[in-house]
Amino acid sequence: MDKNEFLEAYIFNGLEPIEVAKATEGITYFSESDFGIILERAEHYGLSVYTIEARLEAEVFDTLSHDKAKKKATDPKWYTQALVHFKKRQSGLVYGATYKVSQKLLDRNNGDAEAL
């Protein structure tokens, strides 16, 4: 299992991606409520969340990163606070992020879907 397969199976499972014109390559976008679920799942699995990109009507509204927040990418405080920040600034945004799934997590899941 690779990173994208893991994200599809465990993080994005059951959620509805939103098609975005001129989407940033490698980023899948979701509604605010679905993105909140994604962040909960990311915390559960210990994923790194490097950047969060918010879009309004297909245009980039803003991007935040763990570097700007001066937090580790695995620290859920930074990405949950980022979502709250975006929600306060503008309603109707769609969200996408860049993630890292640790090799240890991928290895544990290879050939054993019940490991997680």
Which pLDDT tens digit goes with each residue over 9-33? 999 999 999 998 888 888 999 999 9
Q: Once rounded to an integer, what is the mean pLDDT over residues 62-79?
A: 94
What percent of the chain has a predicted confidence (pLDDT) above 70?
95
CA distance to 9, 41, 48, 51, 115, per residue, from 98 (Å): 16, 14, 8, 5, 24
Query: How much is the average pLDDT of 45-68?
Result: 95
Structure tokens at 28: 């899948």
pLDDT of residue 112: 54
- Residue 109 — very low, low, confident or very high, per pLDDT cuts 50/70/90? confident
CB atoms within 10 A of CB 48: 17
